[in-house]
Amino acid sequence: MAPDLIAPSILSADFARLGEEVDNVLAAGADIVHFDVMDNHYVPNLTIGPLVCEALRKHGVTAPIDVHLMVKPVDRIVPDFAAAGATFITFHPEASEHIDRTLQLIRNEGCKSGLVFNPATPLSHLEYVMDKVDMILLMSVNPGFGGQSFIPATMEKLRQARTMIDASGLAIRLEIDGGVKAENIAEIKAAGADTFVAGSGIFSKGRDEDPHRYDSIIRQMREAMAGVGR
Ligand code: DX5
Ligand code: ZN
């Protein structure tokens, strides 16, 4: 079984102290930095771009950076994120005119590729490109904002995606994004996820409990998942 990876979404971090926030959450045991890129076009919000990704690398962040593109068009910005130090680059199929080409572009730029599925987007987009994805990301909220509630229908979709991955025999990670908390992470893992994005569930909750220390909330997530199969 692939290891569980916890991926704090820096969308809920304190942007005025971003480097320190990322250092702290990694020191607390997080595995991956989830980096939400929004363009006020594909989604109704505006966040951060390649300059901030590069700044985190220059700051000394060596952990994988998981760039979640909520932008349209996609291809223009892919090489910029590869040069800025992205590890994964995932995008929404609705945002690319040529999904296969974009997946190839991401790998050709030296990054791991992934497709992101909105709550109402069918998994059928995967049918002819399974061999070109390293990550499948299921949105359990509609993209654009942190702090929303997990949409329950995503549980069944996770089970379907897990079945497809296992049948393919490929080493594809199954990531979940939106409304993930210590309280529901065990059920999400049991449904098939192996990579867990949490924004408000880590940064806001952790900050409430112990200002700018995230050890306890990440420990709670790991304890909840211990012994749960997928
Ligand atoms: C939403 C983003 C998420 C967001 C999740 O569009 O893709 O990564 O930060 O936030 P929470 O964990 O608070 O639902
Ligand atoms: Zn995200």
Residue to substitute in 35, 36, 154 for testing ligand 1 pocket (most ligand atoms within 8 angstroms of CB): 36
**Widest CA span in the chain:** 47
Type and span of the H or E element at 216: helix 215-225
What do you get for the CA distance between the two ends of the chain, in Å?
8
User: Quick one: 190 exposed, middle or buried, by C-beta within 10 A (0-12, 13-18, 19+)?
Assistant: middle
Give the binding-site residues of ligand 1, using a 6 Å CB cut-off: 9, 11-12, 34, 36, 68, 141, 143-144, 146-148, 177-180, 197-201
> What three-state secondary structure class fits 88?
strand
Spacing, Cα 49 to ligand 2 middle (Å): 14
Q: In what order do the strands lie in the sheet with 33-38?
A: 5-8, 195-198, 173-177, 135-139, 112-117, 88-91, 65-70, 33-38
How far apart CA 137 and CA 87 sit, in angstroms, is 15
pLDDT of residue 197: 99
Q: Which ligand is nearest to the CA of 90?
A: 2
pLDDT, position 213: 83
Q: Which helix (H) or strand (E) holds 175?
A: strand 173-177
What's the CA-to-centroid distance between 88 and ligand 1, angstroms? Answer: 17
User: What token pair was written down for 195?
Assistant: 């990579």
Number of Cβ within 10 Å of residue 127's Cβ equals 9
Looking at residue 194, its pLDDT comes to 98
**Pocket probe mutation, ligand 1, options 176, 177, 184, 207, max atoms within 8 Å of Cβ:** 177
Could you tell me the pTM of the whole model?
0.98
Interval between CA 185 and ligand 2 midpoint (Å): 16
Using alpha carbons, select from 141, 100, 97 the residue that is nearest to residue 117.
141
CA of 19 to the centre of ligand 2 (A): 18
Catalytic residue set? 36, 177
Low-confidence ranges of the chain (pLDDT < 70): none
Ligand nearest to the CA of 10: 1
> What integer pLDDT is reported at residue 22 of this predicted model?
98
Cα 160 to Cα 224: distance, rounded to the nearest angstrom: 23
User: Residue 117: what pLDDT?
Assistant: 99
Which atom of ligand 1 is least distant from the CA of 45?
6
